[in-house]
Structure 1
Amino acid sequence: MKNRVQSSRLSKPWGFFILSMCAPHRVFGIVAWWAILQCGISSDVVLAFDGEMMKRRQQGILTGMPFMANVAPRTFVDDLGRKLYLSKIPHRIVSLAPSVTEILFAVGLHEEIVGVTEFCDFPPEALTKPKVGYATPNLESIVGLQPQLVLAPKSFLRADLINKLEQLKIPLFILDPQTVEDILAHIQLLGRMVGHSQEANALAALMRKQLSILSDRLVGLPRPSLLYVLNSEPLITVGPGSFIHRLIELAGGRNVADQASAPYPRLTMEEVIRQNPDILLFPVGRQEGISQVEQDSWRRWTTLLAVQQGKLLQIDSNLLNRPGPRIIEGLKHLAKILHPEVSQDDLPN
């Protein structure tokens, strides 16, 4: 996969090659424009290789095309290191992750969002958007929506889909946030990409302020130990390198898997018994929830302090597991579970 992505980055688009070689004369500009159309390359979006961007002087090539005369390409780098050059703000966007959909709505987009996944259920307006699948996105549906930009999580990385989108010249931008700061940075990045920087910067600033105020109030308090159960058999939780691990810390807790070597490690029950967490926390929800039957099965581990004290608790998976604007709500819920004595009433909204 890595080699395939790298090779696609290094393939110089023919339309770009023609433009870069043409002299700044009108006749050559017309020829170059015709060549681009024949190649099927979008004038709005160009997936770029690791080379020079089109220089401003080359904008004069298309003097017969007024709408191209003042193009100022913007460069963006996704979480795979792939470069994307946007000459225009995209007005037809497909989101392949609920978290991305929430970000786009939160920074002020609506009509520009032309396709979402089956699990994009927030805000309510997302439910009205055309659906393109989720774990196995429907390529025909995506293409039929004529997107100018497709935003996808790293889990979308299927070679056949990536290759097909590249063949069709549909720009794909991959997001893979690992930390809380990554989430905030992605909000600002997407804001720049879609022409809503002001709204995105304001949202990120508010979230940073809320994070800071709440975490400051928890400094010096005891840190109850917590096991966040993503899956019971095999037992999977969160560890260092995941944004959820950091949220547990910010909420004033101690993750029992804080010494794990992976962001989503597997644990043995022997390790859980040794750690003896104060709280067992289960995500609940349609997409990534733990069933009540599975939660109740933990009650058989009667030596665990959490079981003895009835601390088998739940949290909305959409608030904690989605790396988007609502992680602040997830943090508040976590803090209330870990430190119910700490007030949250005057946090800025």
Structure 2
Amino acid sequence: MSSNFYKLCIFLLFIMASCTSENSKKEESIIENNASRVITLSPHLAEMLFNLGALNTLVGVSAYTDFPEELKNLPNIGDAFVLDIEKITILEPDIILAWESGTPRNIVDELVNLGFKVKIIKSKNLEDIASSILLLGDVVGKKNEAKKIANEFKTGIKYLKDTYQKKKKLRVFFQIDEKPIFTIGGSHFISEVIDICGGINIFSDVKQTAPSISEESVVSRDPEVILSRDVASNKMKLKIWEKFENMSAIKLDNLFYLNARELERPTSGLVNAGKEICSKLEQARSKL
């Protein structure tokens, strides 16, 4: 499985899956204060711990935990679909951090049934991200650092909201991938960021978090801006829209790629992703 294909799977899994179950609900109340041996089941959770200055607490991470650089050489305990239980057992974690919208429920249930302490971290929206930072600070004994990062995150989001949300509204289509065409529904955090930047997600009325849609449905909603993840191996994926010459985004030449890593991970880095989205929408407004 290629790195980019795997990351797309993870991106889709993050926005479509759920790990809630009887066992996981039971484990949600677990707080392991000052944990010194932590395993993360998502790259973004490892990144968040790193940002808290808790690199020394990480004893194992999931596949494709590749940012920051310091996380690359940590023991790999498997991916979101298959874990190496033997390796996890050897690593003797105080706590295992799962991601609510991505870790499959059977994985969580298996770990709980084996006696591991599992804490589920919510990351569905921007408010969850700030709460998650504070929660992780409790887990690893970094409360002050967590408060600082969470407050900076909230301040950054508020600045974007105050600066851009009341500007001229633009119809925005966000494309995850093109074969098939996946987009985001109104419940996704990227849709929330688009709204903060003064945009309107043209599929905000769709209940699914990551629906597969047709070309015709995009054209009929006539986006003024099209955004997509910047993936090096697939730079041409927005070319599929150029044949629709009467679509507003094509007439205005408003097709933009965005930093994939910051979009794919619900961390404090979303402030930077928000700045980029707001900047692209400002470029689009200048063409009206």
What is the TM-score when the length of structure 2 is the normalising length?
Answer: 0.83
Distance 1:81 1:339 in 2: 46
| Distance (whole Å) between structure 2 residues aligned to residue 169 and residue 219 of structure 1 | 47
What is the match of residue 305 of structure 1? 248
CA distance in 2, matches of 1:317, 1:87: 32
Q: Distance in 2 between matches of 1:257 and 1:83?
A: 32
Q: Is the 8 A contact 1:244 1:321 kept in 2?
A: no
Inter-partner Cα distance in structure 1 for 2:207 and 2:110: 35
Task: Specify the code of the residue in structure 1 equivalent to 2:150.
Answer: A
Secondary structure at the counterpart of residue 226 of structure 1: strand
> 1:178 — aligned with what?
124
Q: Supply the RMSD in Å over aligned alpha carbons.
A: 2.5
Q: Which of 45, 67, 71 in structure 2 is aligned with 1:122?
A: 67
Matches within 5 A, 1:81-92: 82-86=27-31, 88-92=33-37
1:243-265 deviation line (CA, Å, top 9, x unaligned): 11101111221111122222223
Partner of 2:176: 230
Deviation at 1:138, TM superposition (A): 2.3
Q: Is the 8 A contact 1:93 1:147 kept in 2?
A: yes
Match of 2:12 in 1: none
Q: Which moved more, 1:176-185 or 1:86-95?
A: 86-95
Distance 1:302 1:81, change over 3 A: farther
Aligned-partner residue type, residue 271 of structure 2:
I
Which secondary structure state, in structure 2, belongs to the residue aligned with residue 324 of structure 1? Answer: coil
Structure 2 residue aligned with 1:318: 261
1:156 aligns with 2:103: yes
Tell whether the 8 Å contact from 1:277 to 1:306 is kept in structure 2 after alignment.
yes
> Is the 2:39–2:60 Cα contact (8 Å) retained in structure 1?
yes
Alignment check: 8 A CA contact 2:33 2:139 kept = no
Shift of 1:314: 0.5
Q: Which residue of 2 aligns with 1:68?
A: none
Q: CA deviation at 1:341?
A: 9.7
1:217-242 residue CA offsets vs partner (Å, 9 max, x unmatched): 11431122211101223322112211
Greater shift, 191-200 or 259-268, is seen at 259-268
- Which segment drifts farther, 306-315 or 330-339? 306-315
Aligned residue for 1:152, secondary structure, equals strand
Q: What are the within-5 Å matches in structure 2 for residues 151-230 of structure 1?
A: 151-154=97-100, 155-159=102-106, 161-230=107-176
- Runs of 4+ displaced beyond 4 Å: none
CA distance 1:231–1:341, change in 2 (3 Å): closer
Query: What is the CA deviation profile of residues 69-115 of structure 1, one whole-angstrom value per residue up to 9, with x for unaligned ones?
Result: xxxxxxxxx7x463444465210111111111111111120111111
Residue 315 of structure 1 aligns to a residue whose secondary structure is strand
> In the alignment, what sits opposite 1:140?
86
C-alpha change, 1:163 and 1:273, in structure 2 (3 Å) is: closer
C-alpha distance in 2, partners of 1:173/1:85?
Answer: 6
Runs of 5+ consecutive residues of structure 2 not aligned to the other structure: 1-17
CA displacement, residues 113-133 of structure 1 (integer Å, 9 cap, x when unaligned): 111122212222111212222
TM-score, length basis structure 1: 0.70
* Partner residue, 1:331: 274
Distance 1:157 1:220 in 2: 39
Task: Identify the residue that residue 5 of structure 2 maps to in structure 1.
Answer: none
Find the partner of 1:248 among 194, 198, 204: 194
| Structure 1 position 103 matched with structure 2 position 48 | yes
Counterparts of 1:185 and 1:144, CA distance in 2: 31
Whether the 8 Å CA contact 1:107–1:191 is kept in 2: the answer is yes
- May I ask how many residue pairs the two structures share in their alignment? 266
Task: Point out which structure has higher relative CO (alpha carbons under 8 A, 6+ apart).
Answer: 2
- The residue type equivalent to 2:143 in the other structure is S
CA apart distance, 1:324 = 0.8
